[in-house]
Amino acid sequence: METFVTSVGLIGIVIVVAVLLSGVIERTGLPLVPVFLLIGAGMGPWGLGIADFGFDSPDLHVLAVLGLALLLFSDAVTLDTKKLKARKRMLWRLLGPGTLVPATVTALSAWWLLGLSAPFSAIIGAALASTDPVLLRTVLRSKALPEAPRIALRLETGMNDVVLLPIVILSMLLLPGGHLSVASSASVGRSLVGLFVLGPVLGALVGWVGISALAYVRSRTALRRDYESLYALGLAFTSFAIAEAVGGSGFVAAFVAGLLVASRDVELCDCFLEFGEATAEMLLLLTFVALGTSLIWIGLGAVDWRVVLFAVIALIVRPIALYPMLAGLNLNMRDRRLIAGFGPRGLSSLLLALLPVFAGIPNAEQIFTLTSVVVLLSIVVHGGGTAFFLRRSGVLDSPRPADVVALNNSPAAIEAAGPITIDEMRSLQAKGEPMVIVDARSNSNYADDSVTAAGAVRINPDDPVRDATQQRLSQRSTLVVYCA
Which residues sit opposite 409 in a β-bridge?
407
Q: How far, in Å, CA of 366 to CA of 279, rounded?
A: 31
- Cα 456 to Cα 239, 419, 428: the distances in Å are 41, 17, 16
pTM: 0.74
Residues of 259-298 as b/e, b for ≥16 C-beta within 10 angstroms?
Answer: bbbbbbbbbbbbbbbebbbebbbebbbbbbbbbbbbbbbe
In whole angstroms, what is the distance from residue 207 CA to residue 79 CA?
A: 15
Among 53-57, 286-290, 430-434, 445-449, the least confident range: 445-449
Over residues 177-209, the pLDDT tens digits come to 644 444 445 555 666 676 678 888 999 999 899
Return all residues near 154 (Cβ < 8 A) that are at least 6 apart: 78, 79, 80, 140
Return the higher-pLDDT residue of 110 and 430. Answer: 110
For 298-341, the pLDDT digits (tens) are 888 888 999 999 999 999 999 999 999 888 888 888 888 888 88
The whole-number average pLDDT for the span 280-299 is 83
Cα four-point dihedral sign 451, 453, 456, 457: negative
Domains in the chain: boundaries: 2-178+276-397, 401-482
Calculate the dihedral angle through the C-alpha atoms of 173, 176, 178, 181, rounding to the nearest 10 degrees. Answer: 40
CATH number of 2-178+276-397: 1.20.1530.20
Question: Exposed, middle or buried by CB within 10 Å (0-12, 13-18, 19+), for 464?
Answer: middle
DSSP code per residue over 282-298: HHHHHHHHHHHTTGGGG
Confidence of residue 111 (pLDDT cuts 50, 70, 90): very high
Between 62-66, 68-72, 412-416, 427-431, the lowest mean confidence (pLDDT) is in: 412-416
CA distance 17 to 133: 20
> What is the rounded average pLDDT for all residues in the chain?
78
Q: Which CATH architecture has domain 401-482?
A: 3-Layer(aba) Sandwich (3.40)
